[in-house]
Structure 1
Amino acid sequence: MTFCRTIIQLLLTGTVALTSAAHAAGITVHDARNRDVAVTDFARTVSIGGAITEILYALGLENRLVGVDTTSLYPAAALHDKPNVGYMRQISAEGVLGLNPTLILAIQGSGPRETMDVLETAKGPLVLVPETFSEEGLIEKIRLVGHAMGVDARAACLSDAVGADLAQLRALRARVTKPVRVMFVMSLQNGRAMVAGHKTAANEIIQLAGAANAVDDYDGYKIISDEAIVSAKPDVVLSIERGKETLQAEAVYTHPGFALTPVAANKSFIAMDGLYLLGFGPRTAAAARDLAVKLYPGLAAEGGTFTSALPAANCRQ
């Protein structure tokens, strides 16, 4: 009896492996390196990037995941149930390859470069998922991940639901008559503010919420002077929650630069979950809506409703 069960299990395992390979046969993914990557087997996938992991779970593909990175905070089961390969910008090649992956999905910007070079030459293909902070970039990210995993129909379902959420957000944003000036502060390093400029997730989420980035003269993140803070005249400081390292409101209000701005005068400070706010995954429209209501409390009072299409969409099968 034990022998029979073993044979059946081996046959089933072989069938699953053959099915996975058959489904993946012929899949070509054009990734962020401007290369066409052939995917032949997605049965053992490693996800590097919280948004990628969130998409995979939304598509019902968690059983194919054999490893995730530390930014994969949603859903909580990801880091709890799956092996951890480290922080996305400090990935160890040995940690990833030790899981014997047949496919590696990594968000653009993962590193270090030496590790990515090793992974690129490994047996399992590396697909570098583009990170474009825009509505179109978010939809394309979902479609590319779904295509790489051989579930285009599920990806279309999810992208449609996210698209519906973004449409609701645009309608809500249209009710804003006077955009507030928001400064995203990643941290205060020795009293100096690390602030987000253009071409960042923070810049895009601010705009999606119907506000304006108070910084408009550089790209990326930069430490700026107190004089630059005063000159920018931010109405609100936005930051992310990072446990004990979370920026505190009082530290902002008493800062020499912010103390001379409307931020301190109006006690205007907002901190939100980092992946939710900046991850640019399926929940991005909801995060922008939550930010918009915090920035403009009158939106909810005026009937600016938002009901996400994600819970009702069945994109897992």
Structure 2
Amino acid sequence: MNKHLIVVICMSMLALSTAALSHSDMRVISSGGSITEVIYALDKQDLVVAADSTSHYPRGATALPKLGYFRQLSTEGVLSFHPTHLIGAQATGPETLFPELKAAGVEVSILGEQRDLAGLKQLISQVGEIVHAPVKAKELIEQIDNRVSQLKKQAQGLKPITALFILSDSERGLTVAGANTVPQALFNDAGITNAAQQMRDYKVMDNESILAANPDIIFVASHRIRSDQEVQSLCQHPAIKVTTAGQICKPVVMESSSALGLSPRYPEALEHIIKKVQAFHGRG
């Protein structure tokens, strides 16, 4: 049986089987770590039948069947779980996936990504509506808002510092977080100047620009640093070693999914950053 025929059969069967489903019978494919985390935070994890490979938080999500990278999902793989809904992050793909799923009767929701606290709250609200948990979503948003407000008050009065968030490095140079990123939003709420704020998104920053910015603190995604040897190697990077942060050589490791994505753990990431700034000033 060829691949095209298998897809057609799956689409036909799914369209028939989902026609009479009620809200309580939702079968959700979650595409994107942020989407999965929000669903769990809304206590709707029982609806999720499979997720993409970036969905590894909270712990329960690691046990979900995985469909591969969220940008490269296959129609056959998704339909094999007989879903009623696919809730996906903005970059979910490929584009050919969506019309095939819709033809099979799957309700597809691809949610935009505004990379700041406002975007997180919008994401929670949207997911809450889809999984029929609007009240829980509102409560979660209020909890996050209240905690962030408390933390911003703690950051008031701290002397201004400059920080750099490093995502990865290669022969081309250091890839850092510029404007329109979650690290930029966290830095803003912590009262920190982003050394890469003149750039947009995640891009390679040349050595001369890093040296000129002279960051006081380096923050690094956890997938980049896993050992003391890697810490020392980063501190000796030509763009880092003569900066204030490089000479102190105490890069702050941030858990990647909460520091780079729209996570309900945004307040925890912000608290971690503020504590490190307080420690830098001798107040932590």
Assess same fold via TM > 0.5: yes
Q: What does 1:210-221 align with in structure 2 at a 5 Å threshold?
A: 210-221=191-202
What is the CA distance between 1:189 and its match in structure 2? 0.3
Q: Does 1:181 align with 2:162?
A: yes
Q: What is residue 105 of structure 2 aligned with on the other side?
A: 123
Q: What is residue 80 of structure 2 aligned with on the other side?
A: 98
Write the deviation string for residues 143-201 of structure 1: whole angstroms up to 9, x where unpaired. Answer: 1101111121111121111121122122122232x222111111110261112211112
Gap change, CA 1:270 and 1:96, over 3 Å in 2: same
Letter in 1 for 2:218: V
Distance 1:85 1:252 in 2: 34
Gap change, CA 1:171 and 1:223, over 3 Å in 2: same
Task: Indicate if the aligned counterparts of 1:239 and 1:272 stay in contact, CA closer than 8 A.
Answer: yes
Q: What does 1:5-24 align with in structure 2 at a 5 Å threshold?
A: 21=22, 24=23
Task: Indicate if the aligned counterparts of 1:182 and 1:214 stay in contact, CA closer than 8 A.
Answer: yes
Distance 1:175 1:70 in 2: 41
Q: What is residue 276 of structure 2 aligned with on the other side?
A: 294
Structure 2 residue corresponding to 1:198, chosen from 179, 198, 222: 179
Distance 1:111 1:168 in 2: 38
What is the CA distance between 1:300 and its match in structure 2? 9.8
Write the deviation string for residues 218-260 of structure 1: whole angstroms up to 9, x where unpaired. Answer: 2112222221221221112211112777892212211111122
Q: What is residue 168 of structure 1 aligned with on the other side?
A: 150
Gap change, CA 1:200 and 1:117, over 3 Å in 2: farther
Q: What is residue 76 of structure 1 aligned with on the other side?
A: 59
Task: Indicate if the aligned counterparts of 1:104 and 1:124 stay in contact, CA closer than 8 A.
Answer: yes
Task: Indicate if the aligned counterparts of 1:133 and 1:201 stay in contact, CA closer than 8 A.
Answer: yes
What is the CA distance between 1:65 and its match in structure 2? 0.7
What is the CA distance between 1:136 and its match in structure 2? 1.7
Task: Indicate if the aligned counterparts of 1:181 and 1:211 stay in contact, CA closer than 8 A.
Answer: yes
Task: Indicate if the aligned counterparts of 2:115 and 2:181 stay in contact, CA closer than 8 A.
Answer: yes
TM-score, normalised by the number of residues in structure 1: 0.76
Task: Indicate if the aligned counterparts of 1:107 and 1:129 stay in contact, CA closer than 8 A.
Answer: yes
Task: Indicate if the aligned counterparts of 1:237 and 1:269 stay in contact, CA closer than 8 A.
Answer: yes
Gap change, CA 1:124 and 1:205, over 3 Å in 2: same
Distance 2:248 2:60 in 1: 39
* 3-state SS of 1:259 partner: coil
Gap change, CA 1:237 and 1:243, over 3 Å in 2: closer
* 3-state SS of 1:89 partner: helix
* 3-state SS of 1:271 partner: strand
* 3-state SS of 2:241 partner: helix
Distance 1:161 1:53 in 2: 19
* 3-state SS of 2:124 partner: helix
Task: Indicate if the aligned counterparts of 1:293 and 1:299 stay in contact, CA closer than 8 A.
Answer: no
Q: Does 1:159 align with 2:141?
A: yes
Distance 2:103 2:180 in 1: 30
Distance 2:25 2:199 in 1: 40
Distance 2:99 2:256 in 1: 28
Task: Indicate if the aligned counterparts of 1:135 and 1:166 stay in contact, CA closer than 8 A.
Answer: no
Q: What is residue 242 of structure 1 aligned with on the other side?
A: 223
Distance 2:187 2:104 in 1: 39
Letter in 2 for 1:78: A
- What value does the CA root-mean-square deviation take over the aligned residues? 2.6
Distance 2:51 2:152 in 1: 33
Q: Does 1:276 align with 2:253?
A: no
Q: What is residue 214 of structure 2 aligned with on the other side?
A: 233
* Percent of aligned pairs sharing the same letter: 27
Q: What is residue 189 of structure 2 aligned with on the other side?
A: 208
Distance 2:282 2:238 in 1: 34
TM-score, normalised by the number of residues in structure 2: 0.84
Letter in 2 for 1:197: G
Structure 1 residue corresponding to 2:32, chosen from 49, 57, 65: 49
Distance 2:248 2:282 in 1: 21
* 3-state SS of 2:68 partner: coil
Gap change, CA 1:215 and 1:244, over 3 Å in 2: closer
Q: Does 1:140 align with 2:130?
A: no
Q: What is residue 257 of structure 1 aligned with on the other side?
A: 239
* 3-state SS of 2:57 partner: coil
Task: Indicate if the aligned counterparts of 1:234 and 1:262 stay in contact, CA closer than 8 A.
Answer: yes
